[in-house]
Structure 1
Amino acid sequence: MKILTYILFSTLFVSTACKSESIQSEPESTMIEPPTSVVSTPKIQIKIGNKTFTATLVDNATSKAFVAQLPLNISMIELNNNEKYADLPKALPTNASVPPSIQVGDLMLYGSRTLVLFYKGFSTSYSYTKMGKIDDVTGLQAALGTGEVTVSFEVKE
Structure 2
Amino acid sequence: MKLLSAAAAISACLLMSGNIMAQNIQIKVDDKAFTGELNNNDAAKDFAAKLPLKLKFEDFGTTERISYLPKPLSLGTAPRNCDPQKGDIAYYIPWGNLAVFVRDFRPSDNLVPLGKLSSKSLEVIQESGSKDVEISLVK
Distance 2:32 2:122 in 1: 8
Which of the two has greater strand per residue? 2
The amino acid of 1:119's aligned partner reads: V
> SS at the partner of 1:41?
strand
- Percent of matched pairs sharing the same residue: 28
Q: How far off its partner does 1:77 sit?
A: 1.3
For the pair shown, the structure with the greater C-alpha radius of gyration is: 1
- The TM-score, its normalising length taken from structure 1, stands at 0.63
- The TM-score, its normalising length taken from structure 2, stands at 0.71
Contact 2:28 2:34 in 1 (8 A): yes
Moved more, 84-93 or 146-155: 146-155
Give matches, 1:60-99, under 5 Å: 60-94=41-75, 95-99=78-82
Q: How far off its partner does 1:147 sit?
A: 4.1
Gaps of 5+ in 2: 1-20
Q: How far off its partner does 1:82 sit?
A: 2.1
- Taking only aligned residues, the RMSD between alpha carbons, in angstroms, comes to 2.4
Greater RCO (CA < 8 Å, at least 6 residues apart): 2
**CA displacement, residues 98-121 of structure 1 (integer Å, 9 cap, x when unaligned):** 32x321110100016211111222
Gaps of 5+ in 1: 1-39
Q: How far off its partner does 1:49 sit?
A: 3.4
Distance 1:139 1:68 in 2: 20
The amino acid of 2:61's aligned partner reads: N
Instruction: Determine the structure 1 residue equivalent to 2:110.
Output: 127
* Structure 1 residue 156 corresponds to structure 2 residue 138: yes
Distance 2:107 2:131 in 1: 24
The amino acid of 1:137's aligned partner reads: S
* Structure 1 residue 58 corresponds to structure 2 residue 36: no
